[in-house]
Every structure is written in C-alpha cells, then in structure tokens.
C-alpha cells in the first residue's frame, strides 16, 4: 500500500475520478467490498478512515447510486488536504524534521 499511496501523492489528483483512476492502476479490482475489507482488516488512523469512507461512497456513486454525489463532492477538498498533508509528512521524515 505504501507504493500505491506514494503514486497517489506524486500524481496530485485534482478530481475524485483522477484519484480513483490512480488507485485502479495499481488495484484493478477496487470495489466496495475491498474498501470494507481494508477498514476491518487493519488498524487505521483517522485520515485513513476518511480515505476509505470517501472511496466507499465514490464507488457507490460510480455504481449509479446518485444519493452520494453531494457527499463525494463535499468531502473531496478534505481528501485533497489529506493527500497534501501526507506528502508534507513524508518530506519532513526525509528531512529528519
């Protein structure tokens, strides 16, 4: 997962579609059940739960469940912030700050 997350951060996705596209380039079978499995199988930090929640709702929307469109749109800026914060955290770790 670290390699995938690194690719996401490097790609700097500007839309939810771009974000999921990057994930799918590494996880072709990305679906709702995979997201649920990740959340249950590992201890997650708050930001990781937010990513999983976002993916869950995005994938439901992608299936045609339009009830989640406003949620995906409203939560996207927070996902972008998480991607940026994690990139900054990685930079500080490399710089030993």
E strands in 12-59: none
- Both tokens assigned to 27: 């996880």
pLDDT of residue 58: 97
pLDDT of residue 94: 53
Rounded to two decimals, the pTM is: 0.82
Decide: 50 and 78 in contact? Cβ < 8 Å: yes
3-state helix, strand and coil shares in percent for the chain, rounded to the nearest 5: 80, 0, 20
For the chain, residues with pLDDT lower than 70 are: 1, 44, 87-97
């Amino acid at each position: 997962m670290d390699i995938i997350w690194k690719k996401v951060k490097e790609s700097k996705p500007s839309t939810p579609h771009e974000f999921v596209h990057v994930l799918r380039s590494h996880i072709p079978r990305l679906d709702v059940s995979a997201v649920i499995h990740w959340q249950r199988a590992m201890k997650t930090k708050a930001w990781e739960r937010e990513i999983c929640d976002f993916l869950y709702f995005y994938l439901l929307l992608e299936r045609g469940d339009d009830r989640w469109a406003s949620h995906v749109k409203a939560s996207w800026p927070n996902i972008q912030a998480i991607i940026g914060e994690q990139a900054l955290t990685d930079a500080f770790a490399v710089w030993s700050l």
